[in-house]
């Protein structure tokens, strides 16, 4: 079986490949796709086949997907272009006769999450594609908070506008394991899987965890969305980025990332990485 991983040059894609190899997959049956030539060369050094894949250049997709049985479409990161790019990947998978696994966002088809529309559009394309597919609706990566955690450990404070909203985050490693399990099985064909951490947390819990690990006292400075945007701009973010970050925090405050039903831990056969363990590892404590 040949498995094509798009976005293989990124953080999640590389970990999915590690997880496939850890499960005994022959590296020569994996095709790693991406644009970053240095990252592709590193993967080739492990015996993995590589292909230049650009979601905006359908001919690269057709070439890379020849002989593919399964394709993991890791969502792109060029906001606003992704629906069209993902359509090109779906079309190429159909031509190749491959089934497809797609990394989406929590409750993408109904959520008010600012990131949901392109994922909803992609899921809609999959539904009408005739392909056999599985959707991995990944919640947040715990890694999204690396800078916040490090700064909290140093400065003793966290600025946020998430209120009491919880985040069912898991690590990329957790999601990568699930992607590998799904790619290596036919059990999940046709399923839309809501994947998240077992123990959703809020910023008070994050602060308490950093306090415990770092041995300092971390306070949470909860601000309004407008105050958050102003503060982020004060740190040098442009208007668009500051507004986007604050909008995501507002989504969290609304509870849009709060739910987890244990599907991720069931698929990977172990609990998801606890926040305490993650913070301890990150801070080297
Ligand atoms: N759940 C979350 O918290 C969260 C957070 C951030 C992002 N995401 C989403 O999850 C995806 C994977 O996360 P990650 O951490 O692995 O992101 P990442 O490290 O930024 O990797 C993104 C990958 O997408 C590839 N890509 C982007 N545009 C492409 C294009 N036009 N053609 C071909 N490849 C393209 C990149 O390839 P090259 O570098 O080779 O161009 C790279 O391999 C992201 O792309 C984003 O959609 C989720």
Position in ligand 1 atom list of the atom nearest CA 175: 1
Kindly report, residue by residue over 136-185, the tens digit of the pLDDT: 999 999 999 999 999 999 999 999 999 999 999 999 999 999 999 999 99
Q: What is the mean pLDDT of the chain?
A: 97
What domains can you pick out in the chain, each with its CATH number? 3-138 (3.40.50.720), 144-166+198-259+273-283 (3.90.25.10)
Kindly report, residue by residue over 9-22, the tens digit of the pLDDT: 999 999 999 999 99
Residue 207 pLDDT greater than 90, yes or no: yes
**What confidence score (pLDDT) does residue 214 get?**
96
Kindly report whether the global pTM for this prediction surpasses the value 0.95.
yes
**What confidence score (pLDDT) does residue 141 get?**
98
- What spacing in Å lies between the alpha carbon of 46 and ligand 1's midpoint? 21
The pLDDT-based confidence of 225 (bands split at 50, 70, 90) is very high
- What spacing in Å lies between the alpha carbon of 77 and ligand 1's midpoint? 5
The pLDDT-based confidence of 26 (bands split at 50, 70, 90) is very high
How many angstroms separate the CA atoms of 150 and 210, rounded? Answer: 9
Q: DSSP of the chain, one letter per residue?
A: --EEETTTTSHHHHHHHHHHHHTT--GGGEEEEES-HHHHHHHHTTT-EEEE--TT-HHHHHHHTTT-SEEEE---S-TTTHHHHHHHHHHHHHHHT-EEEEEE-TTTTT---TTHHHHHHHHHHHHTT---EEEEEE--BGGGGHHHHHHHHHHSEEEE--TT--B--B-HHHHHHHHHHHHT-STTTT-EEEE--SS-B-HHHHHHHHHHHHTS--EEEE--HHHHHHHHHHTT--HHHHHHHHHHHHHHHTTTT----SHHHHHHTSPPPPHHHHHHHHHT-
Residue 67 pLDDT greater than 90, yes or no: yes
Position in ligand 1 atom list of the atom nearest CA 144: 3
Residues with Cβ within 8 Å of residue 59, at least 6 apart in sequence: none
Q: Is the CB of 197 under 6 A from ligand 1?
A: no
- What spacing in Å lies between the alpha carbon of 34 and ligand 1's midpoint? 10
**What confidence score (pLDDT) does residue 285 get?**
79
- Percent with pLDDT over 90 in the chain: 99
The pLDDT-based confidence of 54 (bands split at 50, 70, 90) is very high
Kindly report, residue by residue over 95-129, the tens digit of the pLDDT: 999 999 999 999 999 999 999 999 999 999 999 99
Q: Is the CB of 196 under 6 A from ligand 1?
A: no
| Residue range 196-221: mean pLDDT, rounded | 98
């Amino acid at each position: 079986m040949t498995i094509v991983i798009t976005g293989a040059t990124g953080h999640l894609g590389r970990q999915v490949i590690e997880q496939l190899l850890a499960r005994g997959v022959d590296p020569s049956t994996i095709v790693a796709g991406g644009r970053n030539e240095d990252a592709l060369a590193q993967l080739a050094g492990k015996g993995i086949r590589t292909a230049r894949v650009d979601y905006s250049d359908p001919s690269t997709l057709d070439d890379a997907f020849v002989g593919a049985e399964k394709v993991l479409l890791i969502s792109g990161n060029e906001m606003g272009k992704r629906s069209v790019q993902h359509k090109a990947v779906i079309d190429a998978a159909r031509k190749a006769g491959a089934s497809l696994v797609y990394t989406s966002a929590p409750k993408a088809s109904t959520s008010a999450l600012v990131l949901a529309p392109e994922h909803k559009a992609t899921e809609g394309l999959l539904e009408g594609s005739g392909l056999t597919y599985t959707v991995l609706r990944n919640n947040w990566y715990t890694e999204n908070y690396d800078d916040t955690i490090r700064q909290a450990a140093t400065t003793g404070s966290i600025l946020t506008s998430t209120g009491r909203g919880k985040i069912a985050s898991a690590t990329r490693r957790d999601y990568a394991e699930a992607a590998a399990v799904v790619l290596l099985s036919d059990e999940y064909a046709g399923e839309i899987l809501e994947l998240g951490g077992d123990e959703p947390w809020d910023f008070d819990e994050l602060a308490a965890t950093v306090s415990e690990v770092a041995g300092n006292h971390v306070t949470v400075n909860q601000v309004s969305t407008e105050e958050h945007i102003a503060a982020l701009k004060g740190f040098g973010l442009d208007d668009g980025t500051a507004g986007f970050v604050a909008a995501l925090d507002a989504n969290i405050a609304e509870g849009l990332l709060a739910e987890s039903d244990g599907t991720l831990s069931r698929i990977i056969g172990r609990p998801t990485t606890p926040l305490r363990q993650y913070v301890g590892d990150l801070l080297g404590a």
